[in-house]
Amino acid sequence: AALALTGMQHYTDISPESGFPEAMRSNGIHWAAQIASAGEIVVLPIVVLISLMAQPRLLYVMAKDGLLPQAFAEMDENGNLYYATMVSGIVMVSVASFIPFSFLDDVLAAGQLVAFSIMNSSVIALRKKSVDASHPFQLDHLLLAFNVFCIVSGLIAKLYLHSTAGR
């Protein structure tokens, strides 16, 4: 997607609010801009709905693994995760009510990148548990260092780009 967007428009001219529709409008493809705008409007609520539906089940699995209190793993007589649903719903509504969407958008994008990085590192760790028998946790430490480096470099880039030196 980034390659297609920067192929349509120079990266300094990309709209932070609506990148694809604005890039298409600037190239005179108004019909595609309308479709992309409609797609953005349709997809955002679907993503939020899927996140709301999956969160109680994620809390349930984490509670079963011992990472969260057992209250998140309790079901009512119909098999619903009452406590996990209520807590996740209250947290999500509170966050959505008091935090600006532009900040949430940035945090969600960063969270997805971190999740993909951790997932990729986990796949590597599962394929080869240790590098050397004399250093059984060397791979785990290297993967942790890689993830920390990625997060720190992303934060530095974010802070640097919004400073006077980065402009």
User: Which position has the higher pLDDT, 135 or 49?
Assistant: 49
Tokens matching residue 108: 């969600």
Q: What average pLDDT does this structure show over 32-56?
A: 83
CA atoms of 82 and 154, how far apart (whole Å): 37
- Which among 44-48, 82-86, 129-133, 154-158 has the top mean pLDDT? 82-86
Is the pLDDT score of 39 beyond 70?
Answer: yes
Beta bridge partners of residue 132, listed in sequence order: 135
pLDDT tens digit string along 74-97?
A: 988 888 888 998 998 898 888 888
User: Which position has the higher pLDDT, 65 or 166?
Assistant: 65
pLDDT reported for residue 125: 66
Q: What average pLDDT does this structure show over 148-153?
A: 83
Residue 63: name the closest of 83, 80, 79, 77 by CA: 83
pLDDT tens digit string along 90-121?
A: 988 888 888 887 777 777 777 777 777 777 77
Is the pLDDT score of 167 beyond 80?
Answer: no
Q: Give the angle 126-127-128 at the CA atoms, nearest 5°.
A: 95
Q: Is the full-model pTM beyond 0.75?
A: no
Chain centre distance of CA 78? 32
